[in-house]
Every structure is written in C-alpha cells, then in structure tokens.
Amino acid sequence: MAIGPKLEFRQSQQLVMTPQLMQAIKLLQLSNVDLIAHINSELESNPFLERDDSPDGAGPAAESPNSDNVSDAEASSGEAVEGDWLRNELETTPEAISSSMDSELSNVFPDDNGESKAVDPVQQKADNWQAPSHSTSAGASDYNLEAFVAAEVSLSEHLQEQLGFALSQPTDILIAQQLIDCLDENGYLRIDCTEMASRLGVSEEDLERVIIAVQALDPVGVFARDLPECLKLQLIDKDRYDPAMQVLVENIELLAVHDLPKLKRLCKVDDEDLLDMIHEIKELNPKPGAAFSNEVAQPIVPDAFVRPASDGGWTVELNIESLPKVLVNQSYYSTISQGSKNDKELAYFTDNLQTANWLVKSLDQRARTILKVASEIARQQDAFLTYGVQHLRPMNLRTVADAIEMHESTVSRVTSNKYIATPRGIFELKYFFSAAIASSEGGESHSAESVRYRLKQLIDSEDPKKILSDDALVKILRDDGVDIARRTVAKYREALKIPSSVQRRREKKHSR
C-alpha cells in the first residue's frame, strides 16, 4: 500500500465558553444574597464600577472629589468656615479655656497641670475596653451604633464562665474545656469516651467523673450523650425522675411511634398517669444548647411580585429593591487612561472597563430573563393564583422554555433560588414545576403538588373512628378522577411527614 501526503477539508462546530459568557451564566443562577456578595467583590476589585445608591437609579451627579471638604488654604489659615459650629462655638486651646473659666487649667484638672501627658498604650487599651469612647475621628460623620450593642454569648462562653464553680482541680478544668469544644450546636456530647480518655491521657473513670460534674451546669441537659440522658438530667433537676418516669425515658422510642398500650404496661400506670407523664416529657427541652445559637435566619426576599390587574389578569413586576444597581464610571477611565505610563497599564484599564460593561449588561439581561420567566409562569398558573393549590397545573421546563423561546437550561438556572410573591404566599419558582398524574377519566392530568394537597386534606379531615388506609385513599382519589398507585400515595404521605394509618389511629385514640 502506497503512503503519501494528501489534503482534506473538514467542517465542524464547537461552542466556546468565553469568560464573559461564563459570568453571565453564573449571575443567572445566583440568589439575591449571593448576587449582592458577588457585586460587592467586583466593586472592590474593579476601579470603574460604582454603586448607584440614588432612588431613581440615575446615578450620582458628577462632583469634585473635594467638594465636601474644606480647602487647603482655609485649613492652613485656621480660619473658621461658614457652618463650622464646632470651631466657632468651642475654644479648645488651654489659654482660651483658662480665660473663659477665669482659672488656670491646673486648678480645674490637677492631674493634668495644663499639659498633655504621655499615654501608656497598654493602659489606653484597657481604658478603651472599660469605657468605649463616643468621640469620632476627624473624618467620620457619626459613630457606629452597633459598637454599643452587647454581643450575644455563645454556648461555649456561657459554660466557660461556670467551670470555676463546678470544678476546682486545674486538670479537671482542662478536661472540661476539651469537652466544651466537643459539644454540637444542640449541646450534646457526641464523643467516644474511650478514645477521648486516651487522647487526653486520663482514665475513663476520671473522664466520666468530669462529665457528671459538668452536666450540672446551665442549661440543664447539656453534655448529655443522647436524648434519654438529656431528658433524665432535666427530670432530675425538677425532682420528677421516679421509677415510672425512668422506664418511660428508657423506652422513649415507643413514645415516638405512639405505642401507648405497651408503655402503660412497662411503666405500670393507668391511662391518666401516663398522659400526665407524657405531658411532662413534652415540656422538656430536647435541645438545650440551641438557645445559644448565633445563626441569624435569612428572610426570603422575593425576586418578583404578582398582583391582580384591573382587567382581571395578573401583573408581574420585578422587586427593584433586591436588584443591585451598579454604574460604569467612563469619565474616570478617560482620565486615568490618558495618563497611563505604558501599554501594560492601558491594557489593564481596558480589561477592567470591558469587565464592568459586561457586568452591567449581564445584570440587565438577568433581570429581563427573570421577568420573562415569572410572567410566563403566572400566565400558565392563572388557576392556581385565582383558586389555590388544588388547581395547580402540571408543568415542566420545556413548556416554559418553548413559550418564551429559550433553552431549558436557561429556565432551570432562572428558577433556581428565585422566589415570587403571590396572593397565595411566597413560593420558589421551582414550586410551580411538578409532575403530571394521569386522570382516571381520560381528562386533563393533575399536578403532583395538587394531589399531595388533596391527600393532606383527606387525612386531616378523617374520622378518628375510621382512619383511612393507603388503599382507602387510593380509592377516594380515583373516584375524584386521579389515577394513582398505592405506592405513590405512600410516597407522598411520607414526604408530607404523615404517619401510617396504624400510628394515626393510636394518636387520635389517645388524643380524644
């Protein structure tokens, strides 16, 4: 076979993800909180980006950088400018104070003797810690009120303050400090005692002795190894840990499944006493350390609003308050680019300007895409907005993508971590996308979310004397035109955290 060179023409296509396109895709799927954090990071790194804090979004008017400051000539001359009430009304020199008080400064402040003394940095730091100063620096307009708010005490700090009262030996205090570091957010001690004793170089008996000592600290129930021990410590503190209560705590799993007949036999009490004991258990705190959690729950901020329109339809508006506003400072770029020393500096300025322009454009495109997707969802879910969740239509990403002529992946990114405020409440955009369940009568299919809502309604309104089993629920739903299998009903019931018919029968029997 002869071997020789030859020429071939091939045609192919490929998608190149530029950094700008990757940034636009990233911005599209960010939530409000993440988007604000990203914008703040860009504002710090890009000199041509500015935050637009004006109410109308038109941006601040151009003004001289020193327009709010006193001129150098006026500052050097020491003359008071108009509006400088501090300099006009107060005289701060020792001679002026002495003349106004008709006495020497040493007579009023004998420790000063009219002279400023050298300040010890250590002593000054201690004084500042004991009495925070309310004065501000020359360039500050006001002081931060948050500096005067007491910081929240953590669980670790709260327990550290009590160690000196519970333990006296330095070795025991060191062990207790290690145990405090091992506590979880609920105050439980999730450790292997053998491993911990080996790591600390102490015996298991000494470790257990320290654990028993620190279990007397506040809040009651902290340092428990499990839930029964936590409940036991709180009952002992209330002097209610009798033999019957001990059996109930040791068999707490039976209470979780509402097997009250077996609990009554084990505790050897009647129905009334058992209900009283259960009531006492419910008043205890299963998470004693949770009260010291410093985590602040972030409120849900909707990205769009749906309001009734005058023509009977719906109006969709973006939440302007949640959209960060940034501007590109073109004049600043023109000023510094003319003074660039070399091509490297000019290239740096040009890259930052392009990045800033692309960021502003991407934010605008993100807002338009969210509005377009939210409007289409409101149009297709008109029955839900009017009548409620039982009228929620089955819908998928392709349905919305085809309607607004976008790709499914774009719709998926837009609906991630985005919320919409409706007359029915605030929902995540992904809430409106649910699977379709066929109709038993051959009509329009049903949304999975509406079926779950109907299922919860049936269980909430069931007769305590006639608890509905999964088979009975299937029959009722099929009579209502929903073609559903028993395993699907069981799956929906478990997703709604609804117990089985056996457990519900026990609960409703003893709750009457």
Which mean pLDDT values do the consecutive 10-residue runs of the chain (512 residues) have?
A: 81 77 82 87 89 60 37 39 39 50 48 46 42 42 53 82 86 89 89 88 89 91 91 91 90 85 88 88 90 71 91 89 85 82 84 89 90 93 88 88 90 90 91 81 77 89 86 88 88 88 76 58
Residue 316, strand partner residues: 306
Complete edge-to-edge strand list for the sheet that includes strand 304-308: 314-318, 304-308, 419-422, 425-428
CA atoms 313, 319, 323, 329: torsion sign: positive
DSSP assignment letter at 313: S
CA atoms 339, 343, 347, 348: torsion sign: negative
pTM for the whole structure: 0.60
DSSP assignment letter at 114: T
Tokens representing residue 228 in the block: 């029964």
Tokens representing residue 324 in the block: 């960060």
Tokens representing residue 256 in the block: 């979780």
Looking up tokens 């150098």 gives 72
In terms of C-beta density within 10 A (0-12 exposed, 13-18 middle, 19 or more buried), how is residue 221 classed? buried
Of 233, 225, 265, give the one whose Cα is nearest residue 248. 265
pLDDT of residue 212: 92
Q: Are strands 446-447 and 419-422 parallel, antiparallel or unpaired?
A: unpaired
CA torsion, points 340, 342, 346, 347, in degrees to nearest 10?
-160
> Per-residue b/e over 185-202, b at no fewer than 16 CB within 10 Å?
ebbbbebeeeebbeebeb
Rg (CA), the chain: 35
DSSP assignment letter at 193: H
Please tell me whether residue 232 adopts helix, strand or coil conformation: helix
